[in-house]
A and B are shown apart, each in its own frame.
Chain A
Amino acid sequence: MMQVIADGLVAASFITLGVVGLSMIYNILNFPTFAQGDHIAVGAYFALGVVALAGTAGSVAGLSFGWPLILGLFCAAVLTAVVALALDRAIFAQLRRRDASRISLIMASFGVALMLRYMIVMAAGHDPHYYAFAITPALNLGGVRIQPNELISIAVTVAMVVGLHLFLTRTWLGRSMRAVSENPTLARVNGIDVGRVVRWTWIIGAGMAAVAGVLLGVVVQIHPFMGFELLLPMFAALIVGGMTNIYGAVLGAVLIGLAEALTIRYLAPEYRQAVSFIAVFVVLMVRPQGILGEKP
């Protein structure tokens, strides 16, 4: 059972890093972007590019990666944020200016998602890639077997969520984001530049997705559909958590991660994505506002 919890937390770490950005984008831009999964894959491939340029993923402290990949992680976060900003300026901002319906925004994001995914295929093909082939021995923590890379993923995720929490509650920009997510008009009246908040939302959302992609690439593998496959679990976590704040999303991600680990262990691994969808369904029927969501 402890093993399942550990596996679930590892799965939850990738979902968390993706869904936190999805939740912020949803609350500030007012639509669920189907491209968030592919931001994850784009990030993983940017880091792969840096590692390829360096010629090695390096190695520090007995891990399967080192400074080249750590540098790649930063580059991936920055470049993915730049991609998201460029897409916003070229497409989503134009649609907002034209007062396009939410359906148009969802549809455009679905198109952007496919374009990103297949641009990766164009550049790197369908075959999976790895940052490094080194195999690190699993640690044994009181009977629970866990890879050092997996521990790092959980640690990075916890650090980033805590950092984001401090950012949202302690900084002016973070508070502005919370204000815009609740009431954009009132935020503007308060002197908040909504355009600036939107830009930072994409930067943080896509940047964290890129980190998720690199970690997922380190722990599992890199392939063009790696992010797309996380999209449904992320949406499930968003709905389970109530859609309105990142804390619900994080809790949702942990629940979905555990549900996936239980499915892999006791049911059928191939239906892992379906489990999160059924979770969504049950939540919608019993509690449409999610677990931490407010009553509509």
Chain B
Amino acid sequence: MSAPVPHLAVDDLVAGYVPDVPILRGMTLSVATGEIVTVLGPNGAGKSTLVKAVAGLVPARSGEIRVKGGSIRGLATHRLVAAGVAYVPQTENVFTRLSVEENLELGGLSAPAEVRARMAEMYALFPDLARLRRLAAGRLSGGQRQMVAVARALMARPHLIMLDEPSAGLSPKLTEMVFQKLEEVRRTGVTLLVVEQNARAALAISDRGYVLAEGRQRFTGTARELLSSPEVGELYLGTRTRLAS
């Protein structure tokens, strides 16, 4: 038998907002089913552009994007949900004027019949949200909002979920809580691709990681390898210190 088809395969992808000014300059990456893979890199490395290009929000100029072997390059963003891929943006990732419950309902737009059952599952996974469900999402704290954003994305029963900096703006304690939840999400059978600045927290739950610099892959390896690599430490801390021993 040949090697299993990767869940998500990005091949030599070039992408950017404006033609001729690529932000991503030939990125290759693969995520196996059931994995948590983290994409790291300094500011401006093209991490967010990578997931936005997969989500169809930034045009891919060349290269290929495959989900379970089928190409999704050029797919309109609103068709992504039907392909089983969910995306949680870094900022403005909840509808602030709508209630928590309405946010979740919108997440389940593609399968209206399942909304009730699915929402119950989400409230089981995120018990805090059940209590807050009538509240406008704009009035929640940063950590609660992140929960709503993840729950909303999960409503459509995606098999792959991409998160752009889920720890942005959160305290260390909340960051830990968010990543704990992401691990729980993986146990429900979902594959995760996480873009993060917070390398330690993200790698702690990840199987593997990629480090981007200037739109290309700089390093790749298992989470353990990256955490103990002096080069990765240097890229992050400016000294040849390892992120973890």
Contacts and interface: CB of A to CB of B under 8 A. Distances in A.
Interface of A: 172, 175-176, 178-179, 182-183, 185-194, 244-245, 294
B109 A192 contact: yes
B89 interface: yes
Nearest to B83: A191
B81 A190 contact: yes
Contact of A191 (B82, B89, B96): B82
B77 interface: yes
Contact of B96 (A172, A182, A187, A190): A182
A281 B97 CA distance: 27
Contact of B92 (A183, A191, A244): A183
A143 to B, nearest CB: 43
B201 interface: no
A194 B79 CA distance: 11
Contact of A176 (B55, B57, B109, B153): B109
B97 to A, nearest CB: 5
B78 A183 contact: no
Contacts of B110: 191
Given A179-B98, A185-B57, A172 B109 contact: yes
A179 B92 contact: no
B78 A179 contact: no
Nearest to B102: A175
B16 interface: no
A172 B89 contact: no
17 contacts: A175-B105, A179-B106, A182-B98, A183-B92, A183-B95, A185-B57, A186-B92, A186-B93, A186-B94, A189-B87, A190-B81, A190-B156, A191-B80, A191-B81, A191-B109, A191-B110, A245-B97
Contacts of A188: 57, 76-78
B48 to A, nearest CB: 13
Contacts of B89: 185-186, 189
A228 B76 CA distance: 38
Contacts of B112: 172
A294 B153 CA distance: 26
B57 A190 contact: no
B46 interface: no
A138 B93 CA distance: 55
Interface residues of B, number: 29
A245 B95 CA distance: 14
A182 B93 contact: no
B216 interface: no
B85 to A, nearest CB: 10
B152 interface: yes
Given A186-B92, A190-B109, 8 more contacts: A179-B98, A179-B106, A189-B77, A190-B107, A191-B78, A191-B110, A194-B78, A245-B97
A134 B80 CA distance: 58
Given A172-B109, A175-B106, A193 B92 contact: no
Contacts of B57: 185, 188-189
B74 to A, nearest CB: 15
A185 B92 contact: yes
A189 B106 CA distance: 11
A185 B92 CA distance: 9
Nearest to B52: A185
A247 to B, nearest CB: 12
Contacts of B77: 188-189
A201 B164 CA distance: 31
A244 B136 CA distance: 15
For the complex of A and B, list the 4 residue pairs with the smallest distance between their C-beta atoms, beginning with the closest.
Answer: A191-B81, A188-B77, A193-B78, A188-B78
B82 to A, nearest CB: 7
Nearest to B112: A172
Contacts of B97: 178, 182, 244-245, 294
A178 B80 contact: no
A190 B106 contact: yes
A190 B152 contact: yes
B95 to A, nearest CB: 5
Contacts of B95: 178-179, 182-183, 186
A194 B109 CA distance: 14
- Centre residue among B55, B81, B95 by max chain A CB count within 10 A: B95
A282 B14 CA distance: 52
A193 B75 CA distance: 12
